[in-house]
Amino acid sequence: MAHAIEVVVERESANDADGTVVEIYLQPGSPVKKGERIFDIETSKAVQEIYAPADGFLMHSLTLGDNIDLGGAIARIVADLASAAAAVATPAAPQAGTAAPRTGLPRLSRDATALATQYGLGPADFDRDLVTATDVRRRLNLEPPAPKAVQAVPTMQAPPVAARAPVSANVKPVAAHKRDEIEFLSRGAGASMLSVLGAVVGYGDLIRDGEGFFERKIVDIVAFEASRLMRAHPKMNAAWRDGGVELHRSVHAGVAFDNDGRLLVYGIEDADGLELEDLQDEIMEGFKKYARNKLSLKELTRATFTITDLSATGVDYVLPLLPNGQSCIIGIVNGGRDGFALYLGFDHRVTEGLAASRFLAALRAKVQSAIAMLYIQTEVCAFCDGAHPVGKGLLRIAGSGGMDVLCCQTCWVEG
């Protein structure tokens, strides 16, 4: 709020921390001239006369007999009525002896506010009382979740262990043999719970072009097919949480965008129920928002698995790292002459290599057949019986009987 000047009551004696309002000369909203007497405040030693420090409109919420803290602001003078309205909404310093009003909203530190503002977040986006910059980064999935307390030390009034927040009912503890395996893997040289499988997707020598945004890409097809496969492979759409496996209830496909700037994952809501065209629209919409820096927190955090497409960079291997709260990430890279390769990163605590390889094999088959269906579908020349990709080299001509028939360029030229 611009141009607000605080009316401060000086603390004139070391013996007094507070005073009493014994006279109010101007009501809230009144115009006031600099030097005009506005309040009388009584302390143990004297009555202080308070004069306006500036011209403007006086904003306060005092009534006679109120106890106020000395040395703090008790009212504001605003330059115009528009800011006066704002000043009414945010009164000056709270009166002494009054408990801080419970706003019900979280309070953000300065660093947290700066970061949250950058991502278009506000207090309502957090469910903690006191939000630090670390909390904001965690909300944006830019930082791993809080580690467990170092040790369970009794507090002065030790809460019973059972009083801890219950683990989500969604989380299913893993079997003992799986726990042993996790323990075993965590002590290995890799000491990683991430495992990666790869599969090449044949694309033949046919190139998907003329598709605008998706030219020479298969990210939409992979997102589409993977989302639908999640119904049969729920552990790929899951998370390791609190020592158990949490199966996500919805399938929100995350598509990673990195326009040589920030890497963000845009979550496409309920992707398993979308038709391919709708999903393509979603991806393009997400990319536009990403480019304009307009992705909402919800869009950035809801993904239940992720697809990262590096095929345009020409690399042919990727070891995709799992975002927090997910058990599956699919990296798409260049597969050389054959087309593309898919690399599946998965959380070995949540699922097993064999199950993951079945998922990947199914995904490859689905993507292959989708490509074949959508883009390598062939049509046959009515004259030479030669197969050609749809839309490639076949002309629609009027055949005998008035029916349309297809004719390849060779046959057409040869007449």
Partner 1 sequence: MQTAFPDRALTTPISEGAITGVGVGLAVAGNRPMVEIMFGDFMTLTVDQIVSNAAKFYHMYNQAVTCPVVVRTPMGGRRGYGPTHSQSLERLFLGIDNCLVLSPNALIDIPRQLGAIRRIETPAIVFENKVDYTMRPYKVPEYYKVEIGSAEFPTVAVRPERVEPTVTLVSYGGMSRILADALLRIFEETDLVPELIVPISLHPIDLGPIVESANRTGMLLAIEEGPTFAAFGAEVLAQVSEHAARPIQLGRVGAQPMPVPSVPELEDMALPSVGRVIETLRGMKKV
Nearest distance, CB of residue 104 and partner 1, angstroms = 9
List beta partners, residue 131.
108
Interface map 43-82 toward partner 1 (x if CB under 8 A): ----------------------------------------
114: left (phi over 0), alpha (psi -120 to 50) or beta: alpha
Q: Which of 20, 61, 109, 192 binds partner 1 (CB under 8 A)?
A: 109
- Cβ atoms of 225 and 371 closer than 8 Å: no
- The residue (of 10 and 215) whose beta carbon lies closer to partner 1 is 10
For position 400 contacting partner 1 by CB under 8 A, the verdict is no
Where does residue 358 rank: exposed (0-12), middle (13-18), buried (19+ CB within 10 A)?
middle
Which residues are CB-neighbours of 251 under 8 A, at least 6 positions away?
227, 230, 231, 237, 270, 271, 272, 304, 305
- The residue (of 57 and 119) whose beta carbon lies closer to partner 1 is 119
Spatial separation of the C-alpha atoms in residues 55 and 5, rounded to whole Å: 9
- The residue (of 109 and 296) whose beta carbon lies closer to partner 1 is 109
Size of the site for partner 1 (CB under 8 A): 34
- The residue (of 154 and 401) whose beta carbon lies closer to partner 1 is 154
- The residue (of 44 and 377) whose beta carbon lies closer to partner 1 is 44
Q: Which of 10, 111, 211, 215 binds partner 1 (CB under 8 A)?
A: 111
Spatial separation of the C-alpha atoms in residues 359 and 19, rounded to whole Å: 73
Nearest distance, CB of residue 161 and partner 1, angstroms = 16
Q: Which of 102, 164, 249, 337 binds partner 1 (CB under 8 A)?
A: 102
Among positions 116-175, residues that touch partner 1 (CB under 8 A) are: 128-130, 132-134, 146, 149-151, 153-157
Nearest distance, CB of residue 143 and partner 1, angstroms = 13
Q: Hey, what are 367's tokens?
A: 């993507």
For position 361 contacting partner 1 by CB under 8 A, the verdict is no
Nearest distance, CB of residue 85 and partner 1, angstroms = 25
The CA-atom distances, in angstroms, between 96 and each of 72, 332, 338, 368 are 10, 62, 76, 72
Nearest distance, CB of residue 282 and partner 1, angstroms = 35
CB count within 10 Å of CB 316 equals 16
Q: Which of 2, 27, 65, 100 binds partner 1 (CB under 8 A)?
A: 100
- Cβ atoms of 269 and 252 closer than 8 Å: yes
Alpha carbon 270 to chain centroid distance? 15
Among positions 10-29, residues that touch partner 1 (CB under 8 A) are: 14-18
- The residue (of 71 and 386) whose beta carbon lies closer to partner 1 is 71
Q: Where are the beta strands (DSSP E) in 156-193?
A: 171-173
Alpha carbon 228 to chain centroid distance? 22
Binding site for partner 1 (CB under 8 A): 14-18, 96-103, 107-112, 128-130, 132-134, 146, 149-151, 153-157
